[in-house]
Amino acid sequence: MDNRLSGRPPAWAAKIAAVRDVGVWDTNLLRCIATGALASALMACGSDANTPADNCEDGDNCETSDGTSGGSGDSGDATGSGEDGAQAGDIPCEVQEVLAANCTGCHSDPVKFGATMPLASIEHFRVPAVTDPTVSVADLTLARMVGTDRPMPADSSLSDGDRGIIEAWIAAGMPGEDAGECEGVADDGDDPWGPDTLPCEPDQLFLAHNNGTDEGFNVPEVSDLYQCFAFDSPFTDKTQGIAWAPVIDDERVVHHWLLLRGDETTQTGTFPCSAISLDAPMIMGWAPGTPNFIMPDEAGLELPGPGEKIILQIHYNNSAGHTDAIDSSGVAMCTTEEPREHAAGTLWLGSLQIDVPAGGTQDVVSDCDTSRLDEPVHMLLSWPHMHELGSAISTELIRANGAGSEMLADVPAWNFYNQVYYPHLPAVVIEPGDILRTTCSYDNTTGQTVNFGEGTGDEMCFDFSIVYPITAFDVPNPFGPAELGRYCVDFGEDIPFP
Ligand code: HEC
């Protein structure tokens, strides 16, 4: 396929323009993500935005939002439910606050980012669960908030105190109260995101589309789809990315996306693809809650040059079965032809030394020793990755000067279906000699030994980290030669890649 990006085809430009035209959409969407969609925030997402009409075509979401808890339904069509909708039957403020901080960024009404159902009214908790109608959403909520099997939220960020508040409320039979506008639920203080909030004019767009057309991608009704969209790189050898913004079109079904680097062997067009492949290193990505990314003035992001490809990989989750999901999500990017002082790129941390016995467990620890560096490096993002038998993963920064250690990423209960990444803003400075220790834990529930590999039945242990200057790593590392400096990965005997 031709590179259809730099020309900015009218249909896509229109999409971007549409996003820009409703500036309120970005602001409110962010607020919804940051604070959840209850009370006034719910109305901000539901009424002021241009999105509900689309979302409501689906039917389910509209019905549930209208049928909420007796009270909020009638005020649901007015903008000020917070002010005039204070009626008996709202979720108590204390609980709303917890849901807003932990759940309704995704479980809003309508839902976002692949979440299965809303958690925005008492009724939403009472109805049968989508994936298991023999239990209520409330029961499934109790189950998913504890335990290590696919915890909610996926980054295990729910505190015991917050969990206790939801548990106690459900145990008490989910009583309603005349909540009105709850303090602490709406939060206006966050920065908005989206292309029109970038400090620069985006000059590149990489968006989902159907093969050979500019139209949005028809998202099938499946729960986990990794779909790749490959584009010929429009960039020169000198081009760097300086800022980018997510374009989230059908937010009901977009779970997260990654921008990957492909070469001339990469398939063209649009195709289903595996979660991560060694042939396609990560450039950067987006997950719910991640705002625009603006590189510090001294650094620019390395991008694929002439002859290479850019792959937009979107993880869709349409387990709710929306039949009208057509998506043009992706990224809007500002680039420069005048390279900045430092190039940023992806440092791979982790190990291939995975050997989990049948029915057993293994902790794989790999230390990336940075004493070979002759200058500090700045880390902007961590993105841990394992497959389905992973149970926990973390990267710890251990200071050389005895100044202790800090966690750069910590996922105590790994959920393959809900991979989270961790921006570091401001950047974490790594001094030469510091150790980056990545630990991957596996629980092998199968009857075979499991080793490293790219198949779904194989395992991986990586933490893709965006750092600058990435060139600082172009020196031999404890694990391999200079050309593999950016792969601070315990390869073992053989070096199977890149
Ligand atoms: C970042 C987005 C996000 C946040 C925050 C989040 N969830 Fe989820 N939730 C999802 C997604 C995506 C799914 C579907 C995939 C899955 O089941 O893991 C889901 C599924 C669920 C399910 C299973 C529903 C079913 O029918 O199978 C429950 C229950 C749930 N979440 C409860 C919660 C609760 C309670 C919170 C807050 C304490 C929360 N979630 C926070 C995205 C989120």
pLDDT at residue 156 in the model: 67
pLDDT of residue 187: 47
CA of 290 to the centre of ligand 1 (A): 17
**CB of residue 20 inside a 6 A radius of ligand 1:** no
CA nearest 43: which of 87, 73, 88?
Answer: 73
Q: What is the pLDDT of residues 27-81, one digit of tens each?
A: 233 222 223 222 222 222 222 233 333 333 333 333 333 333 333 333 333 333 3
Strand runs labelled E in 370-433: 377-385, 390-398, 405-411, 422-430
The residues pairing with 256 across neighbouring beta strands, listed in sequence order, are: 315
Confidence class for position 233, pLDDT limits 50, 70, 90: very high
Instruction: Give yes or no for residue 477 having a pLDDT over 60.
Output: yes
Domain(s) of CATH 2.60.120.230: residues in the chain: 343-490
Closest alpha carbon to 95 in 117, 124, 115, 71: 124
- Please write the tens of the pLDDT for every residue from 341-371: 999 999 999 999 999 999 999 999 999 999 9
CA torsion sign for 191, 412, 259, 306 is: positive
8 Å CB contact between 80 and 23? no
Q: What is the rounded distance in angstroms from the CA atom of residue 142 to the CA atom of residue 164?
A: 10
pLDDT band at 496 (very low <50, low <70, confident <90, very high): low
Ligand 1: residue of 38, 135, 144 to mutate (most ligand atoms within 8 A of CB) is: 144
Atom 13 in ligand 1: residue holding the nearest Cα: 115
Cα 349 to ligand 1 centroid, rounded to whole Å = 29
Q: 21-35, 72-86, 395-409 — which is least confidently predicted?
A: 21-35
Residue of 30, 33, 38, 106 with the most ligand 1 atoms within 8 Å of its CB, for mutation: 106
**Mean pLDDT, residues 95-111:** 87
Residue type, 243: A
Q: Across the chain, how many H-helices and E-strands are there?
A: 11, 23
Q: What is the DSSP string of 334-380?
A: EEESS--SEEEEEEEEEES--EEPTT-EEEEEEEEEGGG-SS-EEEE
pLDDT value of position 231: 95
What CATH class is the domain 343-490?
A: mainly beta
Residue 1: pLDDT band (50, 70, 90) is very low
Amino acid residing at 132: D
Mutation pick for ligand 1 pocket among 32, 98, 116 (CB with most ligand atoms within 8 Å): 116
Q: Looking at residues 176-188, what average pLDDT do you find?
A: 71
Rounded mean pLDDT, 392-410: 92
Asked whether 102 lines ligand 1 (CB < 6 A), one says: yes
Q: CATH for 195-340?
A: 2.60.120.310
User: Cβ atoms within 10 A of the Cβ of 172, count?
Assistant: 9
Output DSSP code: residue 449.
Answer: -
Contact assessment for residue 19 and residue 205, using Cβ atoms and an 8 Å cutoff: no
User: Which residue, 376, 379, 345, is CA-closest to 241?
Assistant: 345
Q: 192, 247, 249, 250: which is closest to 44 by C-alpha? A: 192
The amino acid present at 7, given as its one-letter code, is G
Enumerate residues 6+ apart whose C-beta is below 8 A from 327. Answer: 208, 216, 217, 219, 249, 250, 253, 254, 314, 316
Q: Where are the beta strands (DSSP E) in 50-175?
A: none
Work out which ligand 1 atom sits closest to the CA atom of 129. Answer: 26
Amino acid at 291: P
366 three-state secondary structure: strand
Where do you find CATH 2.60.120.310 in the chain? 195-340
Query: Looking at residue 417, what is its pLDDT?
Result: 66
Q: Minimum mean pLDDT among 36-50, 114-128, 230-244, 473-487: which range? A: 36-50
Q: Share the mean pLDDT of the chain.
A: 78
C-alpha closest to that of 18 among 49, 43, 45:
49
Which band of pLDDT confidence, cut at 50, 70 and 90, is reported for residue 286?
A: confident
Report the nearest-CA residue for atom 42 of ligand 1.
115
Q: Please name the residues in contact with 426: beta carbons below 8 A apart, sequence gap of 6 or more.
A: none
pLDDT reading at 425 higher than 80: no
Decide: 393 in ligand 1 pocket, CB within 6 A: no
Distance CA 69, CA 62 (A): 14
Cβ neighbours, 10 Å, residue 423: 16
- Look at residues 252, 228, 216 and name the one whose alpha carbon lies nearest to residue 326: 216
Sequence-ordered list of residues with C-beta below 8 angstroms from that of 275, at least 6 positions apart, any chain:
226, 315, 385, 387, 416
Q: Which atom of ligand 1 is nearest to the CA of 255?
A: 12
What is 243-287 written as a DSSP string? EEEEE-SSTTTEEEEEEEEE-TTSPPEEEE--S--TTS-EEEEE-
pLDDT of 328 over the 70 cut: yes
Which residue's alpha carbon is at the smallest distance from atom 7 of ligand 1?
A: 153
pLDDT at 51: 32
pLDDT at 207: 96
Least confident of 258-262, 272-276, 423-427: 272-276
Phi, psi of 404 (to 5 degrees): 90, -155
Tokens of 487: 């792969």
Rounded distance between C-alpha atoms, residue 63 and residue 413, angstroms: 34
CA torsion, ordered 487, 410, 186, 86, to nearest 10 deg: 140
For residue 116, report the distance from its CA to the centre of ligand 1, in Å. Answer: 7
Average pLDDT estimate for 209-234? 92
C-beta of 36 in contact with ligand 1 (< 6 A): no
Atom of ligand 1 nearest to the CA of 418: 18
Contact by Cβ (8 Å): 151, 413: yes
Ramachandran bin of 27, using left for φ above 0, alpha for ψ from -120 to 50, beta for the remaining angles:
alpha
Q: Which residue has the tokens 């109305």?
A: 43
Strand partners, 332: 205, 245
Q: Of the segments 184-193, 407-416, 463-472, which one has the largest average pLDDT value? A: 463-472
How far is the C-alpha of 269 from the C-alpha of 74, rounded, in Å? 47
* Res 105: pLDDT: 80
Of 152 and 176, more confident? 176
